[in-house]
Amino acid sequence: MDADRRRIQQALIVTIGCLVLVWGAFLINLQFELGLNRFGNRPLRMDGLPGILGMAFLHGGWDHLWSNTVSFFSLSAMLLYFYRGVGLKVLFWSWLGSGVLLWTSGADGNHIGLSGVVYALAAFLFLSGVIRRNPVLMRVALVVVFLYGSIVWGVLPIKVGVSWQGHLAGASTGILLALVLLREGPQAPPPMPEEEEEEPEMEIAPSMTGGDSPSDIEEKD
Q: Where are the domains of the chain?
A: 2-180
Query: What does the pLDDT read at residue 147?
Result: 95
Residue-wise DSSP of the chain: -HHHHHHHHHHHHHHHHHHHHHHHHHHHHHHHT--GGGGSB-TT-GGGTTHHHHGGG--SSHHHHHHHHHHHHHHHHHHHHHSTTTHHHHHHHHHHHHHHHHHTTT--S-B-SSHHHHHHHHHHHHHHHHHT--HHHHHHHHHHHHHHGGGGGGGSTTSTTS-HHHHHHHHHHHHHHHHHTTTSSS-PPPPPPPPPPPPPPP-PPPPTT----GGGPPP--
Q: Is residue 98 a contact partner of residue 166, using CB atoms and an 8 Å limit?
A: yes
- Distances 212 to 203, 216, 217, 220 between C-alpha atoms, Å: 18, 6, 7, 15
**Residue range 112-144, pLDDT digits in tens:** 999 999 999 999 999 999 999 999 999 999 999
Query: What does the pLDDT read at residue 217?
Result: 40
Query: What does the pLDDT read at residue 3?
Result: 86
Residue stretches of the chain with pLDDT short of 50: 208-211, 213-221
Query: What does the pLDDT read at residue 190?
Result: 83
Report domain 2-180's class: mainly alpha
Query: What does the pLDDT read at residue 205?
Result: 53
Query: What does the pLDDT read at residue 5?
Result: 92
Calculate ∠ Cα 116-178-81, nearest 5°: 80
Q: What is the pTM of this model?
A: 0.86
Q: Is 19 exposed, middle or buried (0-12, 13-18, 19+ CB in 10 A)?
A: middle
Q: Residues in the chain, how many?
A: 221
Three-class SS state of 41 = strand
Task: Pick left, alpha or beta for residue 151 (phi over 0 → left; psi -120 to 50 → alpha; otherwise beta).
Answer: alpha
Q: Would you tell me how many other CB atoms lie within 10 Å of the CB of residue 35?
A: 8
Query: In the chain, what is the straight-line distance between the N-terminal and C-terminal CA atoms, in Å?
Result: 86
